[in-house]
Amino acid sequence: MKAAIVTIGDELLIGQVIDTNSVFIGSMLEEVGCSVIEKVAVKDTETAIFETMSRYQNQVDLVILTGGLGPTKDDVTKKTFARYFDDELVLHKKVFLHVKQLMEQFYKRPISEMNIQQAYVPSKCKILFNEVGTAPGMLMVKEQTTFVSLPGVPYEMKYLVTEKLLPYITKHFQLNAIVHTTVLTAGIGESLLAEKIEQWENSLSALDIKLSYLPQFGMVRLRLSKTGTDEEQIKQQIHHKMEELEQLIPDFFIGISNASSLLDEVSRLLKVHQLTIATAESCTGGSIARQLTSLEGSSAYFKGSAVTYATESKVQVLGVQQHIIDTFSVVSEEVAKEMAVGVKKLFQTDIAVSTTGNAGPLKGDSEKEVGTVCIGIATPEKTETVTFNFGQPRSKVIEAAVHKVWFLLYQYLKQKKSAI
């Protein structure tokens, strides 16, 4: 079963409002085995909506439109539906009574002529009754395509999708199982990863498994997808291919997970191993601590952070020895090591990480090249350091340094061995 999603409104096209409706609808359709092949945003004009409906006619099984069902003059979806199906708008008594009751009981005012307009629907449509709002959903069929119009208000749309539309789809359409499995990889770029797994990727076609690369900064997610009638068989096939992938790229394979980032995996492993952590940050300016504290439950393992941005604060707060700074520079592995050891002692944690570097654009207190970042990791076993150069601009250097910290921590937590 193939579907298309159409979001309606000028506010979407000019970036005034972020489209979250199509994301929700797409995810819900995938869960019941309906494949979304396209989504599009159009102006709230009769011409744009009519032409879009015509384009999808008999090309997909289902078209879902959201928006344009309000009481104002720029809400023209109902008029377009009536025109497209050569129908007329009529007053729907049940919808009228519902809107009237909402106005009188909730808003404490009589129903207006504008509100009454929301009770008008095409005479031939199937109503998706909206208990949580005033605009009903509409469902109409033309030839091989079912068209559904939903309100653009997110909570009303979600209610109608889950309570009305999905039950209709599962009852009236023959659906296949759609299985998605995602693996996290890190420490390798998309192009190099593609080279390493080329033969493995080619082997997927024999099983009709689709591979999607989903790159993010510092990591690449690989999603395997297959549609069919035997869900358990599909899951077994995908699981077997994932096992092959892990053997092929063991150094970069993070794992099959619902986690959306490497940080999620680090958080999970800290909890699993019951380890605590602290951070000492200079060039990253608290970004590591901020990301850690953004996770629910991070207080179980994250004990604190020292943002020692100035050279003197590294000495005064973390106990970095001045002669080490004078000898090796404030941007050095020697200073990163002292920072990690110092913050680990300060917060009495199992693990500590440190960053010191030159994010640019000026060199600051060090003559080291702009983009240079030294990272230290102190564990119960040892303290290690490593140096990277992340280039420019400043924002990229900071982001890359934070991602590298997560990768190094993950390597240690997964293997319980040398992080670097």
Tokens of 292: 């850690």
94/204 Cα distance (integer angstroms): 53
Taken in order of first residue, the domains within the chain and their CATH numbers are: 2-172 (3.40.980.10), 178-256 (3.30.70.600), 262-415 (3.90.950.20)
CA angle 37, 43, 48 (to 5 degrees): 75
Beta carbons of 219 and 186 less than 8 angstroms apart: yes
Helix, strand, coil tally for the chain in percent (to 5): 45, 25, 30
Predicted confidence at residue 70, as pLDDT, reads 80
CA–CA distance, 301 with 322 (Å, rounded to integer): 31
- Which positions of the chain have pLDDT values less than 50? 417-418
Strands (E), 16-119: 35-42, 62-66, 89-91
pLDDT value of residue 254: 87
At residue 178, the pLDDT reads 87
For helices 311-318 and 333-347, give the axis angle rounded to 10 degrees: 40
**Closest by Cα among 177, 190, 130 to 155:** 130
Q: What is the pLDDT of residue 260?
A: 62
Rounded CA gap, 238 and 207, in Å? 9
Give pLDDT, residue 198.
97
- The span from the CA of 277 to the CA of 304, in Å, is 8
Which pLDDT value is given to residue 418? Answer: 46
Q: What is the dihedral of CA 145, 148, 149, 152, to 10 degrees?
A: -120
For residue 57, the one-letter residue type is: Q
Alpha helix positions (H), 153-230: 154-160, 166-172, 190-196, 198-203
Per-residue model confidence as pLDDT tens digits over 179-231: 989 999 988 999 999 999 999 999 999 999 999 999 887 789 999 999 998 99
pLDDT at 19: 95
Quote the pLDDT of residue 257: 63
The pLDDT assigned to 18 comes to 93
